[in-house]
A and B are shown apart, each in its own frame.
Chain A
Amino acid sequence: MAAFFRWLRRNLVVIAGLFTLGYLLLPNVVVTVFSFNKPKGRFNYSWQEFSLDAWKDPCGVADMCGSLSLSLQIAAWATIGATVLGTMIAFALVRYRFRARGAINSLIFLPMAMPEVVMAASLLTLFLNMGAQLGFWTVLIAHIMFCLSFVVTAVKARVMSMDPRLEQAAQDLYAGPVQTFLRVTLPIAAPGIAAGALLAFALSFDDFIITNFNAGSTVTFPMFVWGSAQRGTPVQINVIGTAMFLVAVLLVLAGMLVGRRRNKQAK
């Protein structure tokens, strides 16, 4: 008994940590299990019986797949926009000295330190005052705005840890500025840019609050889920949620495997 308590004390942090991990993953388990449910009535909150109906017909709900493809489109464009603008800012911040540096740093930091609802509401007042038509473009503008800071942070970290002597070496070997940038700087900064782009995509795709304020009658996937929480949740929502989770985990695992193989080759 004493040995058990000693073991418990030594591993208490592991048990507590695994409990937290369970807390984090439990909703995903529920989402997956309930994608095989056959609910009575409009809401998919209590277990009835096993069924593959939703998986056989994932787009069987009116407007859901349309909203999904709209979300993917917006996320793709927002990722491109925020990554290009953010990477340029990150390079300028790390590589050059210029005036108003502090002000620019706070302008980039503030959107990340602001509650989303404040940004959403203030942007809506701007669009209302300008008489802008709410829809695809206003959502895209908003998404690029809040993804930008995250891209800057991700790229900045990578560029800062870069050895400037590599570029000097390239220039010593008679590479022009453009050639140095394309063949030395960009490849080294690529993992940071990729991380920023991935983050931007995830943030934009899953954004609800800012979209809710600035979308007008345009329905993105999170907006569709929000609406269905009021009207009735189709099982297909869970199918999409489960599929997204699986695809993401598989992609990450594949990336880890490739990285490990590359490391082995490098050694």
Chain B
Amino acid sequence: MTTVTDAPPPKAPAGEDAPARGPRKRGRLVPYWLLLPGILWLLVFFALPLVYQASTSVQTGSLEEGFKVTWHFATYWEALTDYWPQFLRSVLYAGAATVLCLLLGYPLAYLIAFRAGRWRNVILVLVIAPFFTSFLIRTLAWKTILADGGPVVDALNSLHVLDVTSWLGVTAGDRVLATPLAVICGLTYNFLPFMILPLYTSLERIDGRLHEAAGDLYAKPSTTFRKVTFPLSMPGVVSGTLLTFIPAAGDYVNADLLGSTDTRMVGNVIQTQFLRILDYPTAAALSFILMAAILFMVTFYIRKSGTEDLV
């Protein structure tokens, strides 16, 4: 089932530039044979499901009587009016996590690219290594770290950080767990490597002599960073923010494990509608809106930032 046997072995491109005529006709089909199984897989299990989802979202009915397509577009309107707080939360939490990832990730990526010396590979391994422990186990560890009356919460309390965050409305009283702050903190943690790695790749490509040249032209280190380093790292910033924002906006694991019923995001709603309440049309409509919103934001963002060659 998984190993494909019906496709011919990939052929070496024997003089592929030569005009293909007569006996080379067979060779012209090679790319299509190579593409066929994988593309078919994506069409059937990625593209077709999106069509099914769209059709499910305009169905009405019940589990017992079955669902029928009735072009009931009101589901979309009802889903939006019922669940706009969750949508808003998804965007806000994912946005906050993305900004935090950028602020936290940039120094580390910079450190690896320019200041780590022979420690570079070791630090890179340490950035990737957490991936090898199941992310659910690591997210559960935050329950211990942020536990009520634990050292972290006590420290934040005595530094009056929690007063500020309470004022901002992301924590309540002297606890962090089960507040928006805990969810944002978990999202930031989970998607931080997706920010660091693209940042590192684009910083590493920068020619070190550009820094020297900026210094020779009497630029202060801060000016060098603002005028040379940061603009050149923009491709990394753009792909890093996309790689954090998109999965964070659809996530429901952090909101479920670290949050409360007041921190539910749109992912949580889709999950419960689909798997527990079994209201398929509403769930499909929510999922469709989320997809459309994200695709819209991503296209707009890529246009704005002027880096279209991300793929």
**A interface residues (Cβ-Cβ under 8 A, vs B):** 13-14, 16-21, 23-28, 30-31, 34, 45-46, 77-78, 80-81, 84-86, 88-89, 91-92, 95-98, 104-111, 113-119, 121-126, 128-129, 137, 140-142, 144-145, 148-149, 152, 164, 167, 171, 177-178, 180-181, 184-185, 202, 206, 208-209, 212-213, 221-222, 225-226, 229, 233, 237-238, 240-242, 244-245, 247-249, 252-253, 256
Contact = CB atoms under 8 A, between A and B. Distances in A.
Q: Which are the 10 A-B pairs with shortest beta-carbon distances?
A: A115-B250, A17-B111, A248-B132, A81-B2, A96-B31, A16-B107, A85-B38, A122-B49, A92-B34, A122-B53
A225 B136 contact: yes
Nearest to B45: A145
Contacts of B139: 27
Interface centre among A31, A96, A115 (most CB of B within 10 A): A115
23 contacts: A14-B115, A20-B108, A23-B189, A27-B130, A84-B2, A85-B4, A91-B34, A96-B16, A113-B298, A114-B246, A117-B267, A145-B46, A177-B11, A180-B12, A181-B10, A185-B12, A206-B131, A213-B275, A229-B136, A237-B137, A241-B137, A247-B132, A256-B121
Contacts of A30: 141, 144-145
Given A115-B291, A141-B45, A249-B125, 16 more contacts: A24-B192, A25-B129, A31-B133, A77-B2, A96-B13, A96-B30, A116-B250, A121-B270, A125-B284, A126-B48, A140-B2, A164-B13, A167-B13, A206-B134, A225-B134, A252-B125
A126 B284 CA distance: 11
Interface in B254-295: 257, 267, 270-271, 274-275, 280, 283-284, 287-288, 290-291, 294-295
Given A13-B110, A45-B147, A238-B137, A209 B253 contact: yes
A221 B41 contact: no
Nearest to A246: B132
A26 B52 contact: no
A112 to B, nearest CB: 9
Nearest to B267: A117
B138 A21 contact: no
A247 B129 CA distance: 10
Nearest to B294: A115
Contact of A80 (B3, B125, B127, B131): B3
B49 A123 contact: yes
